[in-house]
Structure 1
Amino acid sequence: MIALSDRLKELRKENNMTQSDLGKILGVGKTTISMYENGNSTPNDEIKIKIANYFNISLDYLLGKSEIRNYNNTIKPMDKINKLVKENNINTLAAHFEGEEFTEDDLEDIENFIRYVISKKKK
């Protein structure tokens, strides 16, 4: 189970935010955000709800009780890809697509390709 402190830091970094940026949104200081991320302090319920609402995630996901990230109880394809990359310590995954949006099928194909590459490396 992932800790709230780790989840908060992950969400902040995914969104290219500084601790100060997040603190302004939540109405707390940078030091408080640092304490949350280091596990030295835990946000109260009101702050937890603000975090979940801001990042559009479930409280269970924030608290590390679930891998289901969003409110409609589905794991987004891009989240699955990010998790796969992280779990397999892939440092670089690069592609350039100019002006195209990915469909869910496209993202599933990308995920399957990553799984294929990982399986080949393990042999």
Structure 2
Amino acid sequence: MFNKEKIIKLLSEKGWSAYKLCKKANIPQSTVSDILTGKRKNPTAETLAKIADALGVSVNEFFDNEDIPTEEKSIEKLNKTIKENKIETIAAHFEGEDFTDEDIEDIENFIRFILSKKKK
């Protein structure tokens, strides 16, 4: 759940005013004020991204910890899907080149192996 107190804490740590934040984030002062007073309970993702960028933190910093693992899992799942699509696309370039289905599968597995080595 979004927690405005986390933004307030970051502002305090940096010694920033709400006005300085709105200038650095390039968002209206009324928007920052509404967020910090709780009038705006669910700011848009775009607004939070601008605030996070201005403060030099991840948007995750503005949410209670129990929300983060779910969000990270969603991002992880999306990244895995993107990687799998890339692997399939690369392997598809070899189709029709006298490769059997087993050869294509071997190519896909080799790409996965190479990508797993990059993480280490």
- Point out the structure with max Rg over C-alpha: 2
Q: Which has the higher contact order (CA 8 A, sep 6+)?
A: 2
Q: TM-score range by the shorter chain?
A: 0.3 to 0.5
- TM-score between the two structures when normalised by the length of structure 1: 0.45
TM (norm. structure 2) is: 0.46
